[in-house]
Structure 1
């Protein structure tokens, strides 16, 4: 009896030890070697990625800050080509955290202007979509199902084919699935040349290591087996979220936007305005901001919400670009001879005192965080006449200190929404 009990105990112990020695299923999957991806001749911002047989191509920005990153490999293939790759994210994608796999590109700098095609993973919808890019403009060609909706760590595989006639087809499958699902098919023959394909990531500070691409395969001279759909030639409508999505603020918002120009004592045929500058290379997308008028003590006595009139439209400030707020965009366009693309009209724009004052820009949150502050007053001008002349930054990227301002040199008295004079 004692021998039987001892054998039983030993058997249980062996089973437990064996079970503990086995890695979790996810860990086993992450350890699968991927020598084909790591051996590809990657170039670009390689210092922002870890590339090895264990992970494939893993974003690992050493700056640990918000930004963009890209790497490319040579590729001249467009027609009769198949692209296959896996993607793993450690978060649910959003308008500020998404990835692109460029199937074809005319430039090795994926963050700039180029002509090409790309697959976007995430964005305003939790799906996979095919785009064509011409210069800095992107056109949605085909939008897939929202297979990542509600998934905080999506893991999927994507396959794309372009046949000899220019029919593009793409499929997706989650790692837990065994069969691909055909998403969409579209004909587009606009771009026929390429020099590379590659990976492009857009991320906030908290997601600077949350992207992994693996098992990347590129096959040319492919004879596709798919038959064209009945009506494959009509591009999908641009993606719109089912409900308006509030983009995330970065973890560190200080100086993500800077005061750049203030018109507080406008001419009779002009209007007051406040302009901000985005010092970063990447665009900033936010739902809204708060503008505070303050006393010298820092006490806030007026709050204005800065947002688009259309509740479904976000504020977008292009990298190295501007956004200008006013109560009358038409007046600024006429007075200062600008196109108005960077001007946003605020119906309740606050009146600025001709005697000067203090301003602060902050996040529109339950507990607002300060982005930038500035002062405006006549003695900051360097001209005797101040009415109808804006105060503008001497160096837009430097802090908004009193000594970094002077009078606008523009003939119209200001430069709302464009580069300072």
Structure 2
């Protein structure tokens, strides 16, 4: 009887707050109360040995769980006993969750830490689980420790120090003679809601999991992490764990003896305490002293705990570029070292002004909602802070000041536009990033932040950002690892001008402008005639200016728009005049715009491209046009070329590609960057054969090219990365008018004149052979000879045969082909067997037949096939 009383007394002592926050040995034979475990209750039982035993459905692949409320997180020890009477594997294992955000341990979005027993390595290991991600090791235990096929007995102890150092220990006899599995530091999650077990098993093992002696102890008092002045009479005290719901105001005082008049834990984050003082804070540096503050488990920090902070006086509302985004973590996986979570870093570049962020909005253009900084949010002079989703705040508390915001925007990995806007709606800061800004193909795959290089050049784009150099992947809450002088001394360049309507023009510059100066209509002039009535810099990035004219433009007439003095946002001014040509476009006719070059079989890691040519004499609008692939069933897979105004001048080329920067990198010496449009989604182009079409805004087919890989020069070692080029601009979109790009230009010329370009022949002869000496070596110079014809009427039928100097048949070039009045045939120097013909003289025998009249004519042309020595 005495032993029984002592045992019960022990149970009572285990439940005292300062000793243990959870003690469960199932001695009451029930897991539904004291404490209450919830989940798959029907799949568990308390057996006669007063142990929690699995009793789930005998179905392979089952997962069952139980969880109980448990909030201890730091300065905590977890202990439990388990016996897995089975052979562990990837389909037979137990996850004991020490810290879980949700009661549903199976939830994909759940986060926290758990100990895995078994698995493929048959180990005892500590894992961290991030939302939507697979678990990752915190401590990788020794393989084979859970190696029995019938009896895997183990007691596990896990400790987490206030400094976030984890220790994993186990005793394979079930006793308390623990052996270490290792230590590691991980501060990702600072909050917990539940503890529980999640079991995965095959049908034969549904009753073979046993647990007992769960014990969670937090005997460590809270620690003061930081103090921040948020107004003249308010200070925020940040602790490393939630504090008791009731804290005494007199536990907090300043170094000068002034005691707080109110202390209130934050409703969403109980580790943050808002303090109020009756008098204004002293200017400069102060010390906050804390005494006798307890955590939620009764552990009291007697103190004094201290933290210093600065108060710089009255708060200032930030102006343009007075609040900066200095770091962007858009792609958090694979994890390198930082928490696996998207975040931004903001910075106050002022040395004196304390910024009032209350009401400042973070958003993406076009978004229906914004993330709003709360009242009282302050950024001190020179201070950095992390901005993240309000559900991710705990992951970044170890990095300094954190603002966890509701509606934090999702950051697109490949690129996005972000705005900070003031309470009055003004744009304070704008950045439009892209994954090319990393300047490192490995780092852009994830886990690394983009960092601003020169804080004094806030308007800089790609040239002022790069991937972090810090080994952890970024520097949230502190100065950037890439920080260096990188000033902008270049005046803004006018890139393009386009007519939106007959009276509205849009000018696009290479960088952000001073929006006030750019909105002065006196800076703009139109030649040969026309007056600018008004000008407006377009938000949000202020790289464009829209002009309203006092009189409409004449269609298809080129004008010159002049800018007297453009000034960028850091004060660099252009010279006295910069200019661009502009025209009001006219409707296109079929065949006005043609496919001029096509890459459908790119190199490894490369991308397709389509080059278009305006071969008309008119200015044409491509807005609303589409590039399409004709599918075998006749339907079209069509993709937009440009939803924005885009005018193509006579003779102008444009290149369409999903990744323009990669195409340019693979053809560094033979591309024209200014001809590339922003990334365009292309239809999938098969490597063997396909049909590409260009559709206008009315869905008319303007051009159509049926291509095959057989159109390439057969002598090529490989066709990968070799484009097909149009030979004559005015010629038809047929195989005869395309040839493989020359090797001397790198096998493609995106945005430049084709290496195989051939001008229309002059004169009025019926047949013209040019050149008369050719060298088919794919170097872009006389790679083939062209037989051009100009006939007196349509309807002739032609056959063209090539013979060598001894009269032997070499190539049947054309057989009974009906001709238009003008056109051409080409011979690439190959025989009918697709072998290169020998050097020497050859005769092209031409036979013409007019079916209507029965007229027959014969012609001969001589050509020399040579070689470069």
Fold match by TM threshold 0.5: no
Q: TM-score, normalised by structure 1?
A: 0.44
The structure with the largest alpha-carbon Rg is 2
Q: TM-score, normalised by structure 2?
A: 0.22
Structure having greater relative contact order (Cα 8 Å, sep ≥ 6)? 1
Higher helix share: 1
